[in-house]
Amino acid sequence: MERLSRLADIPIRLEAAPADGGLGGGVTALLTELATLLERFAVAQESAAIDLRSLPMGPQDRVLLQRALGEGEVRATIDAEGVSTIRETRIGGVWWVEHRDRDGELIAELLEVTRVPAILASAPDEIAAGGRALREQIAATAAHAPLPPVRNLDVGAR
């Protein structure tokens, strides 16, 4: 084997995507990994995530992956320090999650394998604060509202 001494000497071969609409090797590998993560989650309830921005995916790979996973029934948008979009795929337990900064730049893109993405769950301290706020609202409303008339209920009379 001859030694390559220049970058231009490295052989490069470009391969077209499958003409029959099949999945590229990288997409197939990613789907195989998702299947493994789903099986693990089903047995051990162990959530996992795949960082799509860390993978060498071209635009065509992304389209193939989106087609393979499809669209589910649930979509949520969160507006906090930027917009996050959570989309259920048609594969139960696989969620496509995108996080954008205030300028709309994509900063994270994940495939999460879980029952419900953690970002959608209320934090315990938020739940406790919500209960207190609701009690305060009830008390404030009751203090300023006239009491409703008391009705005499005679159970024996018809």
Output the pTM of the full model: 0.70
What pLDDT is stored for residue 30 in this prediction?
A: 94
Distances 145 to 135, 139, 148, 153 between C-alpha atoms, Å: 15, 10, 9, 23
The predicted pLDDT at position 14 comes to 44
Q: Average pLDDT, stretch 15-30?
A: 61
Note the CATH number of domain 22-120: 3.30.1370.140
Q: Tell me which residue has tokens 């989650």.
A: 41
106 with 96: CB under 8 angstroms? Answer: no
Mean pLDDT of 9-35: 66
φ, ψ (nearest 5 deg) of residue 30: -65, -45
